[in-house]
Structure 1
Amino acid sequence: MLQEKIGFIGCGKMGEALCKSMVNSRLSEASRIIASDVLAERCKLLSQEIGIQTTQNNKDVASFADIIILAVKPQMVNEILADLKNSITQRHLVVSIAAGIPIQCIESRLQSGVRVIRVMPNTPCLVGLSATAFALGLHATQKDGQLVSTIFNSVGKVFHMDEKYLDAVTGLSGSGPAYVYMFIEALSDGGVKMGLPRDIATILAAQTVLGAAKMLLETGQHPAQLKDAVTSPGGTTIEGLSKLEDSGFRSAVINAVEAATLKSKELGE
């Protein structure tokens, strides 16, 4: 169990998922977690459902917590850090999950020596299957990194990387769930076009994506190997794959990751 007290500044779906996972896995006690939110109703809901302390004042979080998790929209970071500059000190570890905001940008708005770690999780943390990458700031230690790894391991897989890769992580796994949802919806649409009931088509599509992903992770095989294992000569699968190639499927996905990566870089400028 973590000995450090943890505070969330902003506690939307991502923050809520982390709170729940830490409490449910007994990584932390609810009494050692505090979260702030601008909405009183949201604070009340978090207190009732998880048992954590809540507040509408961000300075209460800084006063209570050893680890401060910035779980707010990127556009709000500057304003929040300006308000907390005198409240966040070297005793704190600041963990930012604000997409696109560089470590240097955060460090420059805090007192000298404050430890900062930038983290890029994704929304499947809500079901314990997040793909997360993090990078250490100038003053963050390996122990700090291990601590962050422990927290985010509670909701999925975690990778320690150089910060230069985090915009690409944002473009791939950060935005990736939306691409997958669109693919699932398209698979379902195809099933409906061919006469399947919508509810069954959607479940078949989602289960197909889930099963395929699990096979790749558990076998360690290259995606092309697994694809070829499904693709019989002159069969139905190669016919479908040919149509995807004709439509530029690969290029569309690659371009989506590139565009989201560039947008993440833009947010940090």
Structure 2
Amino acid sequence: MADSSTLQNITGTILLAGAGKMGGAMLSGWLAGGLDPRRVAVIDPHLSPEISALAAKGVALNPDVKAAGTVETLVVAVKPQLFREAGAKLKPLVSDKTSVVSIMAGTTIASLQEVCGGAVVRAMPNTPAAIGRGITVAVAAKNVSAGQRAVADALLRATGSVEWVDDEGLMDAVTAVSGSGPAYVFLLAEELARAGVEAGLPEALAIKLARETVAGSGELLHQSELAASTLRQNVTSPGGTTAAALGVLMGEPGLRDLMIRAIAAATKRSQELAK
């Protein structure tokens, strides 16, 4: 999580463009981490009641863009397909010294520089950010200063951990693994419950067992220093029930082949979105 002192020490204006689920989660993390609400402005034509209520704390909602002047940090959290239109409206707020932090999937640093300008940080968070347990991967353009990177890191870290990479080419695979990854885990819970029903369990019980098993196993993985493979082996007795099931999941074709194909498909789609 972010060092709260870093958030508290931010003195410039933070403009959040797009306050949907991910943007809203980031904003909540910032304020919980001690960022002065008066440092934050939000632009979104469809503000939720939760975001609207933040006006009482000092957050500026849909300020007059023309009168706002340039901002120190612009966080772009709009839908990628809306970026060209939204970015053109945001460009007057951006100077060469403005840090532009994007969390849009498939939107390259070059595209951001073309549409908005500024010193660009491209980041890919995921939905567990909503509970402060996200993982974000970020890459900075060459003109991003150490100070701008520190501010971006603090803003991103408010919703979970952050990893920095130097090669933007990795971001499509990052999107496929961690950006889209929560959906794969939720699918596992769905199908585990469905299989339980097929095995004769009442539906409500199967759903609860699957949900709690996936959630609990995730927390064990989070807290343990052991590798996932070791944790798996610890559950698996030779010739037992788990081994019988893993014989199917790890057979040919098995989960490994399916996951490789799934990640490849998501990576390819991310590359297509960037064109």
Q: Answer whether TM exceeds 0.5 for this pair.
A: yes
Count residues in correspondence.
Answer: 263
Q: What residue is the counterpart of 2:42 in the other structure? A: 35
Please tell me whether residue 15 in structure 1 is matched to residue 23 in structure 2. yes
- SS of the equivalent of 2:156 reads helix
- SS of the equivalent of 2:123 reads strand
Q: Provide the rounded CA distance (Å) in 2 between the counterparts of 1:178 and 1:57.
A: 38
Letter in 1 for 2:177: L
Identify the range of structure 1 (183-192 vs 242-251) with the bigger mean alpha-carbon deviation. 242-251
Distance change in 2, residues 1:263/1:177 (3 Å): same
Q: Provide the rounded CA distance (Å) in 2 between the counterparts of 1:244 and 1:186.
A: 13
Identify the range of structure 1 (77-86 vs 30-39) with the bigger mean alpha-carbon deviation. 77-86
From 169, 173, 178, give the equivalent of 2:178: 173
Q: What residue is the counterpart of 1:137 in the other structure? A: 141
Q: Provide the rounded CA distance (Å) in 2 between the counterparts of 1:235 and 1:49.
A: 54
- What is the Cα deviation at residue 43 of structure 1? 5.7
Q: Provide the rounded CA distance (Å) in 1 between the counterparts of 2:204 and 2:147.
A: 48
Distance change in 2, residues 1:241/1:110 (3 Å): same
Q: What residue is the counterpart of 2:189 in the other structure? A: 184
Q: Provide the rounded CA distance (Å) in 2 between the counterparts of 1:139 and 1:64.
A: 18
RMSD: 2.1
Any idea what the Cα deviations from partners look like across 1:96-125, whole Å, max 9, x if unmatched? 1110111011112344xx211001001111
Alignment of 1:36-55 (within 5 A): 36-39=43-46, 42=47, 45-49=50-54, 51=57, 52-55=59-62
Unaligned runs of 5+ in 2: 1-7
CA contact (8 A) 2:102 2:120 kept: yes
Q: What residue is the counterpart of 1:71 in the other structure? A: 77
Please tell me whether residue 242 in structure 1 is matched to residue 250 in structure 2. no
Alignment of 1:1-269 (within 5 A): 1=8, 2-26=10-34, 28-39=35-46, 42=47, 45-49=50-54, 51=57, 52-55=59-62, 63=69, 65-111=71-117, 114-162=118-166, 163-246=168-251, 248-269=254-275
- SS of the equivalent of 1:85 reads helix
Any idea what the Cα deviations from partners look like across 1:51-70, whole Å, max 9, x if unmatched? 4221176556x637421111
Any idea what the Cα deviations from partners look like across 1:191-213, whole Å, max 9, x if unmatched? 22233333333232232223323
Letter in 2 for 1:138: K
Unaligned runs of 5+ in 1: none
Distance change in 2, residues 1:45/1:128 (3 Å): closer
TM-score scaled by structure 2?
0.88
Identify the range of structure 1 (131-140 vs 208-217) with the bigger mean alpha-carbon deviation. 208-217
Q: Provide the rounded CA distance (Å) in 2 between the counterparts of 1:82 and 1:120.
A: 22
Q: Provide the rounded CA distance (Å) in 1 between the counterparts of 2:93 and 2:157.
A: 29
Q: Provide the rounded CA distance (Å) in 2 between the counterparts of 1:44 and 1:214.
A: 31
Identity, % of aligned positions: 33
Distance change in 2, residues 1:178/1:7 (3 Å): same
- SS of the equivalent of 1:139 reads coil
- SS of the equivalent of 1:233 reads coil
Any idea what the Cα deviations from partners look like across 1:168-205, whole Å, max 9, x if unmatched? 11000000111111111011112222333333332322
Distance change in 2, residues 1:32/1:209 (3 Å): same
TM-score scaled by structure 1?
0.89
- SS of the equivalent of 2:93 reads coil
CA contact (8 A) 1:43 1:54 kept: no
Identify the range of structure 1 (176-185 vs 238-247) with the bigger mean alpha-carbon deviation. 238-247
Distance change in 2, residues 1:257/1:53 (3 Å): same
